[in-house]
Structure 1
């Protein structure tokens, strides 16, 4: 029996990078968390401790900050592509690079009814994500969002489910449905208006959640993913993960009070965890698009 080295990569995880554009009185801000990972013939570093082919992770961190200045951050997808292509094209012996980015949103402070030029408040309803992989198979971009917390107070049912001797859950045709969405989508193009596409995807996800008379969270995820893929033909695949944030009507009968779905116990655990993947039947191969590094995106 022989022991061999399998898949490996190395990089710098979670460099907190803030880029402020201040070439006019009205400043702009992009607030990122950047992870880089390089792939290639690095076996000697693992097997023999030979670092001669290893670009230090500190250098990868420095490159991200330098590119934030020299290339700017127009979008996290575009910034990730700039970084990944640099590592693959300019650094021998790197054969593949993965860049994972989280972005935290800010909104301008309003002072005396006017947006302030250089003051913001953290505002993000969710964390925007991007995962960029560049290797011999091409350039791959996976966009996404996580921790988008949604709740609707009606328009959700759960009934007609399988029951056995351990089933105690009552059927309901009127319940609170809440979740914290984690959604990722794989593009077939790297030439898009990234910020506009992101805004449209988020709008579609929220609209489907709000307007569908949901018979199950599974059904809601299907319609969310389907709406996104119908609207954005450059998306080959959508992966959705949604915890079911249960809200149980609290028993007020013992206090002589009626509770007509007005007061709830919000249970944080245990929770249902619903997952779904939608993919076009003619989707191109994903390559290493889903092969994670730090798992930020």
Structure 2
């Protein structure tokens, strides 16, 4: 039996960078977490320990910091493309770079330099690049976007077997923490505008869909994003069902007309799916 090296990559994970842009008395803050993974001609380092092809992960970390100073950080998609192109084009042994960036939002409180962390969700971007003349792909998204409908959700008509105890319902709380990724058709995009519009489409679809299942809501959310944004071709969604159960108040002589719930954090249903345009170009092998 022959033993061979399979696909591999290496890099510096979770370089946390806070970039302050000082424009007179009004400051702007960009708070990001950058993970780099590089692949290419890496056979010797695995098989013989020869490091001649290896750009140290510490150098990758330093590059992130240096680029934050030199170029600033505008849209995280642009920063990811900048880094991916640099690593592939500057290193002859590197043929592919994957850059994943999470952004933590801050809003100005008052004055020019006081901020509060905004919202609970995290903006994300994953950039893949093969260097000058090669292919590039950008996947934007978010995670931990927590949403809740206090009515307008049903769940019935499901399979029942000898282990089923869940009662059908025509009125329930529907809550989830959305993780969404949307694939761009190209790299010529106004990233911030696209992100805001995609996020708004997700929220509006969740709010306006009378839900018979979380699966149905997932599809409508992905559909709304694609219909709203021509630059996008595919949406992937992961949505845990954050269960809310009515509390039995009868022992206390009280009715509970869908007013008091117990919010259970686990176990939970996990609904995942992909919604794509019928003319979507093939997804890159390294979508993730």
Using structure 2 for the length normalisation, give the TM-score. Answer: 0.97
Find the counterpart in structure 1 of residue 115 from structure 2: 120
Gaps of 5+ in 1: 110-114, 292-297
Find the counterpart in structure 2 of residue 177 from structure 1: 174
Q: Secondary structure at the match of 1:12?
A: coil
Deviation at 1:152, TM superposition (A): 1.2
Q: Give distance in 1, aligned partners of 2:176 and 2:284.
A: 31
Q: Measured at CA, do residues 289 and 190 of structure 1 come closer, stay the same or move farther in structure 2, by a change above 3 Å?
A: farther
Q: Give distance in 1, aligned partners of 2:206 and 2:276.
A: 20
Deviation by residue 1:17-48 (Cα, 9 ceiling, x = unmatched):
01110132101011000001111011111111
Q: Give distance in 1, aligned partners of 2:274 and 2:226.
A: 12
Q: 1:1-297 to 2 correspondence within 5 Å?
A: 1-109=1-109, 115-135=110-130, 138-291=135-288
Q: Measured at CA, do residues 225 and 151 of structure 1 come closer, stay the same or move farther in structure 2, by a change above 3 Å?
A: same
Deviation by residue 1:47-94 (Cα, 9 ceiling, x = unmatched):
111001100000000001111111111100000000000111122211
Equivalent residues of 1:141, 1:289 under 8 A apart = no
Q: Secondary structure at the match of 2:94?
A: coil
Find the counterpart in structure 2 of residue 295 from structure 1: none
What do you get for the CA RMSD once the two structures are aligned?
A: 1.0
The answer to which structure, 1 or 2, has the higher relative contact order (CA under 8 A, 6+ apart) is: 1
| Greater mean deviation of Cα atoms: 251-260 or 228-237 | 228-237
Find the counterpart in structure 2 of residue 112 from structure 1: none
Q: Secondary structure at the match of 1:28?
A: strand
| Greater mean deviation of Cα atoms: 127-136 or 75-84 | 127-136
Deviation by residue 1:78-121 (Cα, 9 ceiling, x = unmatched):
00000000111122211000000000011111xxxxx3201101
Using structure 1 for the length normalisation, give the TM-score. Answer: 0.94
Query: Alignment length, in residue pairs?
Result: 286
Q: Which runs of 4+ in 1 moved over 4 A?
A: none
| Greater mean deviation of Cα atoms: 230-239 or 80-89 | 230-239
Deviation by residue 1:168-197 (Cα, 9 ceiling, x = unmatched):
111111100000000001111101110111
